[in-house]
Every structure is written in structure tokens, then in C-alpha cells.
Chains A and B, each alone.
Chain A
Amino acid sequence: MEHLLAARTIMGLSLGFHILFAAVGMTMPFFMATSHFLYLRSGNKEDLILTRMWSKGVAILFAVGAVSGTVLSFELGLLWPEFMKHAGPIIGMPFSWEGTAFFLEAIALGLFLYGWDKMHKWVHWGSGLLVGLSGFASGIFILSANSWMNSPSGFEWVNGQAVNIDPVKAMFNEAWLHQTLHMQLAAFQAVGFAVAGIHALLLIRKHNIELNLRALKISLFFGAFASLLQPLSGHFAAQRVAELQPAKLAAMEAHFKTQKNAPIIIGGIPNVSEEKVDYAIEIPGVLSFLAFNDFDAEVKGLDQFPKEEWPAVTVTHFAFQIMVGIGTLMAGIGTLFFYLVWKKKLNSNAFLRTLILTSPLGFVAIEAGWIVTELGRQPWIIYGVMKTKDAVTKFPDLYFHGILFLSIYFILSLATAWLLYRQIKVANKIWEIP
């Protein structure tokens, strides 16, 4: 494997690994705080058991998220030293705020996990909520740093050096809002559906029906609500990308030729050498409308960019379609959820089966979305300013580095899955209600 590709692979896998745990750390505490709140208000035993069950899962996943996040903060420099040398001072502000938020999250988690019976019950509840709030905030700061790579601002690039740095402007760059909104909703969606899927499985097997039904309601309330908002945020994000990174939008949509009344392409296989998409369904005008609210607007195609500045069209396009497809499906299930809650028919087997099947899809969509963001920005690491190949480390032994961390991530994934499996197994036995 070529050096640059090796570095990108390591980075991609590290990010792809971390994001799963980070999403849980940002959102699950809110589920916990909800069940905990219900318990404190009504004294319902099941809500307490549920809070405790969830908190153990969170403790495990948070730890893996924290250590893999530590790795990432070093890996940015280990793999992309030239990038960090210039970008560090510019996007240092969101990173320092992220550090602060993460610090608070760690403190709050310690208080929440070990503080049962040691604090006033509402202060203890507050510490649990603070885990969620600070985790959520730290996610926003990290996204701000990433969005700067897509829409760099707050500095001037003179002779390969950044001058006149304005960290505040860099932090609140043009891409900040849509990326943050889109990812934070996605985290609620993915985690909500994943947790609901586990409880749906337990419901189908008739374990602790009352408890699992409550769990399903809480988690899917968050998940379904987010999945209904997500299409709006996705639309907003697409419009921003059309303006800020037309090459990325073109790759996402496999839109080769600049044209007015541009069609949206559903399915199909991009044929990059002939600059067309085979076997696709095209609906004229829709892309123009989605991107610029006007069926006749001109949408820049890849032909506006030199070929060496094209992102990987096929992968970006497929990943985008997967993400949108899953998002649409989840919005449908979300609507169904609210309908079934209204009709009091949540415990229907068909719905529970659907939830089990769709349970991992949110995470698939998150990974696909990040592939779109990151691969869609290539060949740039800082869009329009620095190319990825100019940022990569000169350290030649990336195989060793890569294999070491891939094995660590592999073992950790297996171990985490095994631990969660054991949690669920034991939980069923201990709390089987006659």
C-alpha cells in the first residue's frame, strides 16, 4: 500500500472506530437522565433498574471512547504533522474547549457512576445530566474543528504560512452549523435506534416486559424525534455544501456535467472514465431545487474541476446514497413509532422485529456520512489550502503503526461486544420479574 493511502486508512479506521463510542457517550446519558428522572419523581423500581443497567453500558463504552479519543488527538500529529503544525494554532480554540468539556464529562461521569447514596439525589441526577451536556458540547467543538477543514476561515495563507490568525472566526466557520446539527441529530438517531433494537429483542423473548417497554419508549423517543428532524438538517447541509464545496456535492450526487435543471440521481453506478452514471434513475430539476431552491438553477458538475482535484466519486456517491436511504427509512420508522405510541400498540411483534433489523443502521449511516465528508473533501486536507499528500508524515513505518492499532481496535471491539453481551445476559437473570 502506498504511504499516503496507509496513513489515510489508519486515520479513517481510527475515526470510524471512535465515532461509534463517541456517539454513545454524547447521547446515552440523556436517556439515562430521563429514566433516572422518572424514577426520582415516581419511585418506579423499573426506572431505577433501567438507569443502573444503562449506566453500566455507558461506563464501558465511555471508557473505550475516551481512550480511542486520546489516541486520535495524538494521531492527528503522528500522521499529519504538517497539517497540525499550521492548523493547531488556528483551530486550537475548539480543541481547547473540547478538552474542557471532556474534562467536565469525565468528572461528572465519576460522580454519577460512583455517587449513588453519596450525594443528594437531585445533585446526583444533575451529575448524570452534566455527563450528557458536556459530552454533547465536546462533540460540537470537535465538529467545529472538522468543519474548519471543509470551510477554512480565520487566517490568511501567505507563502505556505498562516498569518493574521483569528481563532474565533475559525471556530465559527461557514460549515460549523450544518455539520454540527447534522451529526448531533445523527448520534441521537443511531444510539436511540440501537438501544431500542436491543430492548426490542428482549421484548420478543418476553424478558422483563414492563422494563424493556419503558426502555424502548425512552430510547426510541429520542431516536424517532431526531430521525424526523434529520431530513431537514440534511437538506440544509446539502445546500451549504453546494455553496461551500461544490466538488463534494458533485461527487456525492455523481453529477459530472455542469447544467441547469440538474437531475437527482437515484442508484446507478458512476462511470468515472466516461463521466456518466450507468443504470441510474434521473429525476430532472430536483438536484437544482434541493441545492438552490430553484428547479432551473445551475449546479456545478465535476467538469468544473481539474481531474486531479476530484474526490473519489464512486465511493462518495455510494456512501451518500446509503446514508440518505437509511435516513429516509428511519424517518419512516420514527413516524410509525409515534403512531403506535398514540394507538398504544408499541408491543406489536412486527414492529419489534423491524426495530431489531434496523438497530445497527443508524451507525452504518454515521459511518457512511463521515465517508462522504472526508472522502468528499479529498484531495484536500484543508479545503483549497493544503493537500492531504503534503500533510502526511515522513515517518516510513506506517505498517507497524497501522497493524498495532488495527489489532488493538479489533480486540477492543470484540471485548466490548462480549462485555455488553454479558451485561444483558446477567441483567435478564437478576431482574427477571415473576
Chain B
Amino acid sequence: MSELLGVFLAIALLLYILFGGADYGAGILEIFKGKKLREQQSELITKAIGPVWEANHMWLILMLVILFVGFPSVYHSLSTSLHIPVIMVLAGVVMRGSAFTFRHYDAIKDSSQKVYSFFFSLSSVWTSVWLGITAASLHRGLIKEGSQVYFEQYVAPWFGLYPLAFGLFVSSLFTFLSSVFLIGETQAPSLRSIFQRRAFYSNISTVALGALVFLSAELEGNHFARSFFESPASLVSLTLATVLLFALWHFIKTGSNNRLRIVAVAQTSLIIIGWLSAFYPNLVVTSTRAYTFTELAAPPAVLKQILIALIVGLILILPSLFYLFHVFKKETFRRKN
């Protein structure tokens, strides 16, 4: 049962990265909006993510609930050893959600719009980098429960080149996903070509930062790169994702909305699968040992209840979510290019 719950956790993670990620990326893209068509870009972003952003971030809440009910000790490590990066994420989440809503709903559109935009962009980068840092720290092997030394207990687990590289990788991935998403959200050729360019460059930077993640893992001597290359599933995923790059670049160039989205989603999923397979069946690696899914899971009676809640919950949520996207996004999927 813990494995099944692990699958739910992985799916929630993937959906958060895809939907929430495209959302974070939109905030990051606003930094690079250059001189041309600034207003139109912001307008498009607000229109594209406005109806769905609250729902997109619910996947994070879902993951959190799965963690603290089903894997309470992981939640425990997150909140003790990773206290600092987690509050950084939270500060960003608060700033970001409020700035985005305030910008849209402020009844008077004056210079305050600039302030909201500034905080929206800043917190988009900030939060995504800290999310990556937090995720990387869980399996980095420096979590040291019960240490009396402040640095060792609260800073060392997340401090260093590897988590930072991972954080930057995550925000670059989000930017890439968002660019791909936004190409399909508009029919204006000038805007589309802007986001086509962004999609290409952010894809290149994601690949480069991905390489940096492996390199930094080797530099600081953590086992991530080795376990990745020793896992057949990870290797297969990485190879497939690499092959798909050519298809991706082709579709970015031709601007085929749906095909491009499918390839981008496939690639991202492969990356996540590869990443998770690298340390499966472990969920958390501390300085002393690795803990598997099964070891960290709550008692079976609890797992059964949360699985029931998840299944019933998803029966309610998925159709409504589908309807939400149907109402607001059907046009963007119908358009071929």
C-alpha cells in the first residue's frame, strides 16, 4: 500500500511541476519581456493563468497532505532540518499569490501595477529555486537529525552548489514549460515568435543546468549522479528525453501547439521518472542511511484511509478540473498552430 501511495505522490509531483511549473515560469518570463510588447505579454499571462492558477497550486497541498499523513517522518525532516528553505518557499508562495491576484483585481490600474509585477516576478524565481533546493536536499545525504551544531543541523543539509544547481534547474524547467504553454495561448504571430524563442533558449538552459546538477553532485561527492547512471530506468528515461529534444526543437520552430505541448510534457515526465528512479525505493537519504518508502510509511490502517480519501477525492476533483480546463482552454487545444 505504501508503494501505491508513493505512486500518488509521484503523480501529484508531476502534475504540480507541469501545471504549477508553467505558472511559476510565467512569472519568470515576465522578467525577460524586453522592450517589445510588454503590456501584451503581461496581459496574455494574466489571461492564460488567471482562471487556473489556484487549482494548479493545489497539487502542492495534495503532496503535503500525502506526506504528513502517509509519510509523517518525511514531513518531520522537511520541517526540522529543512526549516529554512521551507520558510523561504512559503514566503515566496505568499508573495506570489497575492501579487498576482492584486495585480489583476486592483480596481485602479496605476503605477502600483509595477510593484505587483515586480513582486510577482521576483517571487516566481525565488520560490521555484527554493523548491528545487528543498527537493534536492531530501536525498542529498546531509540531513543530520539530532545534531547539536546549528550549522550541521539546519544549514548544511541544503547549503551548497548541488542544491543550488538543482534549484536553478527547476526554475529553468518551469520557464521552459511556461513558454511552451504560452505559445499555444495566443494567435498573435509577434507574441508567438517571442515565446517560441523563449522556449528554445530556456530548453537549452535547462539541459545545461541539468548537466550542472550531475557535475555538482560529483564535485561534492554525493551519490546522485552514480545512482542515476546505475539505474536502468533512469538511463532509459534520460536517453528518451534526449532523443525527444530533436522533435521538440522541430515543433518549436514550426509552432505546432499541441504536438509541442505533448513532447514537452513527455520530456518533463521522463525527467521526473528518471530522477525518482535514481533513488527508488528510497525516499529520504540522511547522513547515516537511506530510508525507503515502506519504512517511512504510516501504519496500514492510516494508509488505507488516505488512499480511500485520495481516490474519492480525485473522483470529485478530476472531472471538475477537466471541466475547468475545457471551459478556458478548449480553444487553445483546437488551434493547430
The chain A residues found within 8 Å of chain B, CB to CB, are: 56, 59-60, 62-64, 66-68, 70-71, 73-78, 81, 84-86, 88-90, 92-93, 95-97, 99-100, 102-104, 106-111, 113-115, 118-119, 165-168, 393-397, 401, 404-405, 408, 412, 415, 419, 422-423, 425-427
Query: Interface size for chain B: under 10, 10 to 19, 20 to 34, or 35 or more residues?
Result: 35 or more
Q: Is B40 an interface residue (CB 8 A)?
A: no
With A59-B105, A404-B91 known as contacts, the answer to whether A66 contacts B97 (CB < 8 A) is: yes
- CA gap between A302 and B301 in the complex, in Å: 38
- Chain A residues whose C-beta falls within 8 Å of the C-beta of B309 in the assembled complex: 93, 96-97, 100
Whether B324 lies near A419 (C-beta < 8 A) is: no
Q: Is B266 an interface residue (CB 8 A)?
A: no
Residue of B nearest to A108 (CB): B320
- CA gap between A412 and B328 in the complex, in Å: 29
Residue of B nearest to A420 (CB): B107
Residue of A71, A73, A84 near B76 (CB, 8 A) is A84
Residue of B53, B69, B93, B107 near A56 (CB, 8 A) is B107
Whether B323 lies near A110 (C-beta < 8 A) is: no
Whether B154 lies near A63 (C-beta < 8 A) is: no
Q: A63-B97, A64-B101 are in contact. List 5 more A-B contacts (CB 8 A).
A: A74-B87, A84-B72, A92-B298, A107-B324, A422-B107
Residue of A59, A73, A103, A405 near B101 (CB, 8 A) is A59
- CA gap between A401 and B298 in the complex, in Å: 29
Whether A166 lies near B107 (C-beta < 8 A) is: no
- Chain A residues whose C-beta falls within 8 Å of the C-beta of B90 in the assembled complex: 70-71, 74-75, 405
- 6 closest A-B pairs by beta carbon, nearest first, are A92-B69, A77-B79, A100-B313, A63-B101, A106-B54, A114-B51
- CA gap between A92 and B93 in the complex, in Å: 23
Residue of B nearest to A82 (CB): B76
Q: In this complex, which of A66, A97, A412, A422 has the most chain B Cβ atoms within 10 angstroms of its Cβ?
A: A66
Residue of A84, A109, A394, A415 near B68 (CB, 8 A) is A84
Whether B317 lies near A401 (C-beta < 8 A) is: no
- Chain B residues whose C-beta falls within 8 Å of the C-beta of A426 in the assembled complex: 107-108
With A88-B68, A88-B298, A99-B65 known as contacts, the answer to whether A107 contacts B80 (CB < 8 A) is: no
Residue of B55, B79, B98 near A84 (CB, 8 A) is B79
- Chain A residues whose C-beta falls within 8 Å of the C-beta of B246 in the assembled complex: none
Whether B94 lies near A73 (C-beta < 8 A) is: no
With A59-B105, A106-B54, A419-B102 known as contacts, the answer to whether A71 contacts B323 (CB < 8 A) is: no
Residue of B76, B154, B305 near A395 (CB, 8 A) is B154
Q: Is B70 an interface residue (CB 8 A)?
A: yes
CB distance from B90 to the nearest CB of A (A): 5
Q: Is B83 an interface residue (CB 8 A)?
A: yes
Residue of B nearest to A171 (CB): B305
Question: What are 8 contact pairs spanning A and B, CB under 8 A?
Answer: A62-B54, A70-B97, A71-B90, A81-B76, A110-B51, A114-B51, A167-B301, A405-B87
CB distance from A94 to the nearest CB of B (A): 9
Whether B305 lies near A92 (C-beta < 8 A) is: yes
- CA gap between A78 and B84 in the complex, in Å: 9
Residue of A nearest to B47 (CB): A114
Residue of B nearest to A393 (CB): B80
- CA gap between A307 and B274 in the complex, in Å: 58
Interface string of B71-89 (1 = CB under 8 A from A): 0110110111001101100
The chain B residues found within 8 Å of chain A, CB to CB, are: 50-55, 57-58, 60-62, 64-66, 68-70, 72-73, 75-76, 78-80, 83-84, 86-87, 90-91, 93-98, 100-102, 104-108, 150, 154, 298-299, 301-302, 305-306, 309-310, 312-313, 316-317, 320-321, 323-324, 327-328
Whether B61 lies near A70 (C-beta < 8 A) is: yes
- Chain B residues whose C-beta falls within 8 Å of the C-beta of A425 in the assembled complex: 107-108
Whether B299 lies near A73 (C-beta < 8 A) is: no
- Chain B residues whose C-beta falls within 8 Å of the C-beta of A68 in the assembled complex: 94
- CA gap between A77 and B150 in the complex, in Å: 19
- Chain A residues whose C-beta falls within 8 Å of the C-beta of B72 in the assembled complex: 84-86, 88-89
CB distance from A377 to the nearest CB of B (A): 21
CB distance from A136 to the nearest CB of B (A): 15
Whether B317 lies near A115 (C-beta < 8 A) is: no
- CA gap between A397 and B78 in the complex, in Å: 16
- CA gap between A398 and B312 in the complex, in Å: 39
Whether B78 lies near A107 (C-beta < 8 A) is: no
Whether B65 lies near A77 (C-beta < 8 A) is: no
Whether A167 lies near B302 (C-beta < 8 A) is: yes
Whether A113 lies near B51 (C-beta < 8 A) is: yes
- CA gap between A170 and B240 in the complex, in Å: 47
CB distance from A85 to the nearest CB of B (A): 5
Residue of A78, A104, A393, A396 near B320 (CB, 8 A) is A104
With A102-B61, A119-B327 known as contacts, the answer to whether A110 contacts B55 (CB < 8 A) is: yes
- Chain A residues whose C-beta falls within 8 Å of the C-beta of B58 in the assembled complex: 99, 102-103, 106
Whether A396 lies near B150 (C-beta < 8 A) is: yes
Whether B310 lies near A74 (C-beta < 8 A) is: no
Residue of B nearest to A99 (CB): B65
- Chain B residues whose C-beta falls within 8 Å of the C-beta of A167 in the assembled complex: 301-302, 305
With A92-B68, A96-B65, A104-B317 known as contacts, the answer to whether A419 contacts B50 (CB < 8 A) is: no
Residue of B80, B94, B150 near A408 (CB, 8 A) is B94
Residue of A nearest to B56 (CB): A106
With A100-B317, A423-B107, A426-B107 known as contacts, the answer to whether A77 contacts B78 (CB < 8 A) is: yes
- CA gap between A67 and B119 in the complex, in Å: 15
CB distance from A397 to the nearest CB of B (A): 8
- CA gap between A104 and B64 in the complex, in Å: 17
- Chain A residues whose C-beta falls within 8 Å of the C-beta of B75 in the assembled complex: 77, 84-85, 88
- Chain B residues whose C-beta falls within 8 Å of the C-beta of A66 in the assembled complex: 54, 57, 97
With A71-B93, A92-B68 known as contacts, the answer to whether A104 contacts B105 (CB < 8 A) is: no
Residue of A nearest to B327 (CB): A118
Residue of A67, A73, A99, A404 near B313 (CB, 8 A) is A99
Residue of B nearest to A424 (CB): B107
- Chain B residues whose C-beta falls within 8 Å of the C-beta of A89 in the assembled complex: 69-70, 72, 298-299, 302
Residue of A70, A93, A113, A394 near B60 (CB, 8 A) is A70
- CA gap between A111 and B328 in the complex, in Å: 8
CB distance from B146 to the nearest CB of A (A): 9
CB distance from A203 to the nearest CB of B (A): 20
- CA gap between A422 and B106 in the complex, in Å: 7
With A56-B107, A107-B321, A113-B51 known as contacts, the answer to whether A165 contacts B302 (CB < 8 A) is: yes
- CA gap between A422 and B312 in the complex, in Å: 42
Whether A104 lies near B65 (C-beta < 8 A) is: no
Whether B50 lies near A114 (C-beta < 8 A) is: yes
- Chain A residues whose C-beta falls within 8 Å of the C-beta of B76 in the assembled complex: 77, 81, 84-85
